[in-house]
Amino acid sequence: MDIDQIKTFLAVAAHGSFLEAATQVHVTQSTVSARIQSLEQQFGTRLFVRNRAGASLTHAGERFLRHAKTLLLTYEQARHEVGLPSRFRASLTLGARIALWDSLLPRWIGRLHSRMPDISLNTEIGFEEDLMRRVIAGTMDLALMYNPRQAAGIEVEYLFDETLILVGPDPERRTLDDSYVYINWGPTFFAQHRQAYPELERPAQTANIGWLGLQLILANGGTCFVPERVATSYLEGGCLHRVHGSPSLRLPTYVVYPTVGGRSVVEAALEALRALIAEEQGESAEMTD
């Protein structure tokens, strides 16, 4: 098994076609067929069902898909690490939910860059499932998220509570109607939301990230729950307003990282993150006072 076979397998799985996969990986269709056949011989099972409509994964192929993605990520990270320019002594791969990259984490990255200029920083956006998988597989050093899961060899550290507030462009709005956009912030948010609005039926609009919910209400009106930190600039600019009498909901935020094989650069990054959060919480307390 080599990396070209992995890339070819993933291309066929993504496109459902040997011909389109050949175009994607810049080889002939016969080469794609040969690579897949070689993989199937190594595993002793069929990975794809071929028919006139194209190619679809078998059950064995579906099971291999997750491993193939991990193998490719591991290879790419290894190539990046080994091929680092001499001015870098190491690299860090950092991931988080998109809402956490709004104002908070860019400040963290700025500090890391100034304190450790000899470290190459790779930053990514993702959802919990992918971020957890990357940390477990060892292809991501630190990941920040709202709904982590426990796993062997993984540390889940609580950082702070995100405050979610209900906002919209109409300063007179008081109730939730069909213009309300329910953002899926995870099970913790769902439980609090249900307690706050027990009579609310299934919302007419849903979104899987806060950024998307914001774009929808900015363009079409309505309301949605977003982190107060994210909403601040919109509120100060007057294009959004907090809905009068609406509750504040809490969303715990965590950082996830391996507990074994610790690296000094990872510890340094964690210390900088904890210090930044402590500073922000101190500033918030002063403003409250």
Predicted confidence at residue 17, as pLDDT, reads 92
Is the Cβ–Cβ distance between 227 and 99 less than 8 Å?
Answer: yes
Average pLDDT over residues 102-124: 92
d(CA 222, CA 87): 50
Q: Does domain 161-251 have CATH number 3.30.390.50?
A: no
| pLDDT tops 80 at residue 188 | yes
| pLDDT tops 70 at residue 284 | no
Q: What are the pLDDT digits (tens) for 33-67?
A: 999 999 999 999 999 998 877 899 999 999 999 88
Q: Does domain 81-160+253-288 have CATH number 3.40.190.10?
A: yes
Is the Cβ–Cβ distance between 251 and 158 less than 8 Å?
Answer: no
d(CA 171, CA 156): 39
Rg over alpha carbons for the chain, rounded to the nearest Å, is: 23
3-80 folds as Arc Repressor Mutant, subunit A (1.10.10)
| pLDDT tops 60 at residue 262 | no
In the chain, CATH 3.40.190.10 sits at 81-160+253-288, 161-251
d(CA 121, CA 241): 36
Percent of the chain past pLDDT 70, that is, above it, reads 94
| pLDDT tops 70 at residue 12 | yes
In the chain, CATH 1.10.10.10 sits at 3-80
- DSSP assignment of 196-248: H-TT--S-SEEESSHHHHHHHHHHH--BEEEEHHHHHHHHHHTS-EEPTTPPP
Pairing of strands 224-227, 48-51: unpaired
Predicted confidence at residue 259, as pLDDT, reads 83
Q: When comparing pLDDT for 276 and 53, which is higher?
A: 276
